[in-house]
């Protein structure tokens, strides 16, 4: 297989959850640049999702907007049905949707714990379950879970977030064992701190502390995370499954 084909996703359909902003948005664009049609999941940011869809259309591939909550099984089934009706069978799933509800343990409410687990972990379970049958039937597919360096290091005030992201690592390894014989690969990436709307709001002293602990001395761009996700989705990563790839500038060392 020549180099151009080994990285091509032409003719594939990808679903990216939480695609309207940040890593999800960059991933959707990168997948489209590689030739994939993209189903864009979002929950609230309709204008941003529509702008993303227009950008993908300008690149050539097709897209479809899927507004819905990944933590709701009925909404997930409806989204998958719509995506496959308009774009064809999903062969790439990027479980990127996630939220934060930070707070110290003694002040964290059950609602804030449950909300983060529901979106980041249960959402990945529901979406993976919904697409797995089609991937198994086709005997090919790639699921990429977006975890976090915080899953490995922990972080004060983020017991809910770190638990959800650590759970994704266990899910990745279990599904890789379960689905590998059917030709479905399951991998995860663990980003460090990324230049997004959320990190832009960090206090200066917190930003400096992060930079001081990151060997590369800077935050990642969303595109740097997206490029690894697209690699894992491509034929170039055809013998990689059950892997966790840190994309953290060395923060997790």
Report residue 3 CA to chain centroid gap: 25
Marked catalytic residue, from 7, 161, 193, 239:
161
Q: Answer yes or no: 161 catalytic.
A: yes
Structure-token pair, residue 48:
């941003």
SS3 content of the chain, % helix, strand, coil (to 5): 55, 15, 30
Give the residue among 42, 47, 14 at the shortest CA–CA distance from 28: 14
Structure-token pair, residue 30:
């990168």
| Neighbouring C-alpha atoms within 13 Å toward the C-beta of 21 | 14
Which ranges of 95-158 would DSSP assign to H, the alpha helix?
A: 110-117, 123-138, 150-153
* Dist. CA 142–CA 240, nearest whole Å: 10
Beta carbons of 178 and 130 less than 8 angstroms apart: no
Report residue 81 CA to chain centroid gap: 20
Report residue 248 CA to chain centroid gap: 15
Exposed e or buried b per residue across 174-199, where buried means at least 16 C-beta atoms within 10 angstroms of its C-beta? ebbeebeeeebbbbbbbbbbbebeee
Would you please indicate which residues are annotated as catalytic (active-site) residues?
161
């Amino acid at each position: 297989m020549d180099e151009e084909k080994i990285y091509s996703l032409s003719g594939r359909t990808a679903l990216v959850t939480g695609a309207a902003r940040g890593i999800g948005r960059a991933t959707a664009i990168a997948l489209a640049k590689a030739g994939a049609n993209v189903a864009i999941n979002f929950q609230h940011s309709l204008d941003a999702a529509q702008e993303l869809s227009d950008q993908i259309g300008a690149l050539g591939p097709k897209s479809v907007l899927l507004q819905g909550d990944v933590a709701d099984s009925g909404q997930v089934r409806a989204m998958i049905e719509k995506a496959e009706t308009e774009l064809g069978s999903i062969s790439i799933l990027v479980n990127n949707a996630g939220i934060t509800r930070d707070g110290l343990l003694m002040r964290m409410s059950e609602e804030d714990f449950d909300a983060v687990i529901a979106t980041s972990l249960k959402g990945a379970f529901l979406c993976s379950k919904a697409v797995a049958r089609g991937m198994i039937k086709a005997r090919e597919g790639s699921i990429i879970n977006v975890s976090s360096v915080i899953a490995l290091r922990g972080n004060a005030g983020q017991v809910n977030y770190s638990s959800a992201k650590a759970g994704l690592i266990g899910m990745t390894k279990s599904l890789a064992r379960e689905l590998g014989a059917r030709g479905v690969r399951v991998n995860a990436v663990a980003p460090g701190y990324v230049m997004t709307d959320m990190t832009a709001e960090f206090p200066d002293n917190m930003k400096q502390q992060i930079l001081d602990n990151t060997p590369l001395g800077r935050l990642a761009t969303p595109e740097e995370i997206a490029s690894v996700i697209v690699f894992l989705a491509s034929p170039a990563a055809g013998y990689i499954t059950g892997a966790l790839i840190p994309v953290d500038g060395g923060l997790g060392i």
